[in-house]
């Protein structure tokens, strides 16, 4: 199972901050800090970004991750449906990545529960929206978006669901400043082609677009959402 060692990272950062905040004099007079890893914290669970399934495709993949202290072992992984249409097949509910098929039009919610050897649990929910593109080709265009590049570059569109009719699926396109063409942005859970340039994910009501192409020049792309 995939682990993300957030506790170790936090401890390392804390230690660096303590040291960097001391002068030479205080370092000589201050005992070294003793940092104890927490052992009573629940594991952290992440069920992945929200997923869209465009019919006639009727399947997708649920992909979760977890984090727990190194001294803790994970005893159980469980996916379960908590809302949505009755039609679905969950291939293996006890692994982090599993295939979800036989989906029908509607909005599903699946909960990922991670249980450790102390009986503590971490839970998270992913939404799966299944539908067809309308024949109207309605669209929203957002102009002159700004890239954010702390570690890798992305665009963020907040409150994406409030911009669209409830339950609608949609496609996303991007047009860069130096191009006259709209390029489709692919969902991160899809089978990505080798030459993919842009992917997106949906999380906490926001849409994030990532690029694998060069951003050597200042660029303020337009985004088109077709539904």
Give yes or no for a contact between 157 and 172, defined as CB atoms under 8 angstroms apart: no
The per-residue pLDDT for 1 is 42
The per-residue pLDDT for 221 is 94
- Tell me the per-residue pLDDT of 147-163, one tens digit each, with 9 for 90 and over: 988 777 899 999 999 99
Label the pairing between strands 198-203 and 183-187.
Answer: parallel
Concatenating the DSSP letter of every residue in 136-152 gives T--EEEE-S---B-SSS
The domains located in the chain, with CATH, are 1-132 (2.60.40.10), 139-226 (2.40.30)
Q: Tally Cβ neighbours within 10 Å of residue 74.
A: 16
The per-residue pLDDT for 193 is 72
The per-residue pLDDT for 38 is 54
* Pairwise CA distance, residues 83 & 71, whole Å: 35
pLDDT band at 7 (very low <50, low <70, confident <90, very high): very low
- Tell me the per-residue pLDDT of 81-137, one tens digit each, with 9 for 90 and over: 999 999 999 999 999 999 999 999 999 999 999 999 989 999 999 999 999 987 788
pLDDT at 2 over 70: no
Give yes or no for a contact between 132 and 54, defined as CB atoms under 8 angstroms apart: yes
- Tell me the per-residue pLDDT of 161-191, one tens digit each, with 9 for 90 and over: 999 988 889 999 999 998 999 999 998 876 6
CA dihedral 154, 142, 186, 108 (to 10 degrees): 100
- Tell me the per-residue pLDDT of 195-218, one tens digit each, with 9 for 90 and over: 888 999 998 899 999 988 776 567
- As a whole number, mean pLDDT of residues 70-86 equals 93
């Amino acid at each position: 199972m995939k682990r993300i060692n957030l506790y170790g990272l936090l401890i390392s950062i804390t230690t660096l901050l303590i040291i960097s905040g001391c002068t030479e004099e205080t370092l000589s007079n201050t005992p070294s800090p003793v940092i104890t890893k927490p052992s009573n914290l629940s594991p952290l669970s992440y069920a992945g970004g929200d997923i869209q399934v465009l019919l006639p495709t009727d399947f997708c993949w649920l992909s979760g991750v977890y984090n727990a202290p190194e001294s803790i072992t994970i005893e159980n992984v469980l996916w379960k449906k908590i809302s949505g249409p009755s039609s679905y097949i969950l291939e293996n509910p006890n692994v982090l990545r599993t295939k979800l098929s036989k989906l029908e039009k509607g909005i599903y919610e699946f909960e990922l529960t991670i249980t450790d050897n102390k009986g503590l649990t971490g839970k998270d929910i992913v939404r799966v929206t299944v539908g067809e593109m309308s024949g109207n080709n309605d669209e929203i265009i957002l102009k002159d978006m700004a890239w954010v590049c702390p570690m890798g570059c992305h665009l963020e569109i907040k409150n994406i669901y409030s911009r669209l009719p409830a339950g609608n699926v949609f496609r996303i396109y991007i047009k860069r400043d130096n191009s006259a063409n709209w390029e489709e942005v692919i969902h991160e859970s899809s089978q990505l082609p080798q030459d993919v340039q842009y992917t997106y994910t949906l999380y906490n009501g926001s849409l994030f677009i990532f690029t694998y192409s060069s951003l050597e020049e200042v660029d303020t792309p337009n985004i088109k959402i077709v539904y």
